Structure 1
Amino acid sequence: MKDSHSETPVWHFRTSRQQWALWVGWLALVALFIFCWTLMTSETMWFFVLDAPAQAADLGGRMWPPRWEYLPSLWEPMWDTINIATIGTVAGVLMAIPVAFLAARNTTPSTKILRPIALFVIVTSRSINALIWALLLVAIIGPGILAGMVAIALRSIGFVGKLLYEAIEETDPLQVEAVAATGASRAQTISYGIVPQIMPAFWGISVFRWDINIRESTILGLVGAGGIGLQLQGSLNTLAWGQVSVILLLILATVVVSESISAKMRHAVI
Structure 2
Amino acid sequence: MSESLALPAAAAHSRRWQRFTLAQRLLRYGVWLLIVWAVVQSARTIEVIPEFLYDAPEQMGDMLTRMWPVDWSHYPAVVHAALMETLHMATLGTVLALVLAVPLSLLVAGNITRNRALNFAARVVLVASRSVNSLVWALLFVAIFGPGPLAGMFAIAFRSVGFVGKLLGEAIEQTPRGPIEALQAAGASTAAQVWYGYWPHIKPAFWSVVLLRWDINVRESGVLGLVGAGGIGVALDTALNLFQWTQVAVILIAVFAIVVLAEVVVTQVRKRVL
Superposition TM-score, scaled by structure 2 size: 0.88
Find the aligned partners of 2:86 and 2:100 in 1 and give their Cα distance: 21
**Residues 143, 224 of structure 1: 8 Å contact kept:** yes
Find the aligned partners of 2:112 and 2:27 in 1 and give their Cα distance: 43
Unaligned runs of 5+ in 2: 1-14
2:85 counterpart of 1:80: yes
Give the equivalent residue in structure 2 for 1:254.
258
Change (3 A) 1:27 1:201: closer
Cα offsets for 1:26-59 (capped at 9, x unmatched) = 6435433432232122222222222222222222
The structure richer in helix per residue is 2
Change (3 A) 1:67 1:25: farther
Change (3 A) 1:17 1:167: closer
Give the equivalent residue in structure 2 for 1:132.
136
1:183 aligned to 174, 187, 197, which one? Answer: 187
Find the aligned partners of 1:16 and 1:187 in 2 and give their Cα distance: 52
Find the aligned partners of 2:39 and 2:129 in 1 and give their Cα distance: 31
TM-aligned CA deviation for residue 268 of structure 1: 2.1
TM-aligned CA deviation for residue 186 of structure 1: 2.0
Find the aligned partners of 1:60 and 1:28 in 2 and give their Cα distance: 46
Find the aligned partners of 2:59 and 2:211 in 1 and give their Cα distance: 39
2:269 counterpart of 1:229: no
**Residues 70, 246 of structure 1: 8 Å contact kept:** yes
The percentage of counterpart residues that share the same residue type is 44
The secondary structure found in structure 2 opposite 1:52 is: helix
Give the equivalent residue in structure 2 for 1:159.
163
TM-aligned CA deviation for residue 267 of structure 1: 2.4
Cα offsets for 1:129-168 (capped at 9, x unmatched) = 1111000000111011110111111111101100000000
The secondary structure found in structure 1 opposite 2:73 is: helix
Give the equivalent residue in structure 2 for 1:47.
51
Q: CA RMSD in A?
A: 1.9
Unaligned runs of 5+ in 1: 1-11
Find the aligned partners of 2:251 and 2:214 in 1 and give their Cα distance: 21
Cα offsets for 1:222-265 (capped at 9, x unmatched) = 11111111000000101111111110000000000001111111
2:134 counterpart of 1:145: no
Find the aligned partners of 1:16 and 1:211 in 2 and give their Cα distance: 43
2:222 counterpart of 1:218: yes
Corresponding letter in the other structure for 1:110 = N
2:36 aligned to 21, 34, 39, which one? Answer: 34
Give the equivalent residue in structure 2 for 1:103.
108
Find the aligned partners of 1:147 and 1:266 in 2 and give their Cα distance: 30
Give the equivalent residue in structure 2 for 1:173.
177
* Count of matched residue positions in the alignment of Structure 1 and Structure 2: 257
Superposition TM-score, scaled by structure 1 size: 0.89
Structure whose alpha-carbon radius of gyration is higher: 2
Find the aligned partners of 1:33 and 1:102 in 2 and give their Cα distance: 38
Change (3 A) 1:191 1:40: same
Find the aligned partners of 2:102 and 2:28 in 1 and give their Cα distance: 45
Change (3 A) 1:221 1:47: same
The secondary structure found in structure 1 opposite 2:175 is: coil
**Residues 204, 269 of structure 1: 8 Å contact kept:** no
